[in-house]
Amino acid sequence: MAQGIDDVIARWHRYMDGELPDGLDQLLADDVVFYSPVVYTPQRGKAVTTQYLRAAAGTLAGGEGGTFRYTKEVLAGDTAVLEFETSVEGKYVNGVDIIRCDDAGRIVEFRVMLRPLQAINAVHEQMGRTLAAGG
Amino acid sequence: MAQGIDDVIARWHRYMDGELPDGLDQLLADDVVFYSPVVYTPQRGKAVTTQYLRAAAGTLAGGEGGTFRYTKEVLAGDTAVLEFETSVEGKYVNGVDIIRCDDAGRIVEFRVMLRPLQAINAVHEQMGRTLAAGG
């Protein structure tokens, strides 16, 4: 199992670096569940999870000159926790991606938490605009 | 190093179960830093970290009949991530404790993140009352 999550996270980093354009389609299980840092209701399925992860990447990575970087990586069993720092609209953002995979090396759970409070509000507003624009 | 964090987390669970009344004094390094889910500014030192962790335990554990439970535990190297669920004022709370220790098995970093947004607001209000009351 530990081998599985190592491989998933290696592919996740390649996706985040722009080296796997269809990476999410390979990485996500059909029945993956996305847990938003803002909203209580779990978002179920590959389509909606892909939409959220793309919007989150756009908001958090910040494009060229973005300050997004992973600061801790803790992998064990079927689960990885990746801690990151970035800034959104000039506000410091600290967060975690909690990623769980199945035996086939597909992501079945993707959970995001953010701190501090002003970061969550900034990300919430920016992602709302991105999702409303269909991005 | 992995042995170190395993032992720290075993003692942390004993402290949370009420079996180590002076557990925080043994567990925390003098220069430990606490990162709040709400506030940006790191809280430095054993005294203020103890105050925050006691207030957090009171708010999140909820006393007798409390629903607090750890749902994931990911340990690697010098770091542990413990995911939990609980409820505060009837609101569902999902969070992580990110705990890093030194070679001597003392906690040098304690970071908390919560989701969803309404949970952070509920915890923020409740902890504000607890800290203002000196607890």
3-state secondary structure of B28: strand
Per-chain mean pLDDT for chain A: 91
pLDDT of residue A68 exceeding 70, the answer is yes
Per-chain mean pLDDT for chain B: 91
Confidence of residue B39 (pLDDT cuts 50, 70, 90): very high
To the nearest whole Å, the CA of A15 is away from the closest chain B CA by 23
What local confidence, expressed as pLDDT, does residue A85 receive? Answer: 97
Written out in words, the top-level CATH class of the domain with range B2-132 is alpha beta
Confidence of residue B64 (pLDDT cuts 50, 70, 90): low
Per-residue pLDDT, averaged over A110-116, amounts to 98
pLDDT of residue A48 exceeding 90, the answer is yes
Q: Mark yes or no for CB contact A98/B72 under 8 Å.
A: yes
What local confidence, expressed as pLDDT, does residue A1 receive? Answer: 43
Nearest CA in chain B to A122: B117
| ipTM, two decimals | 0.93
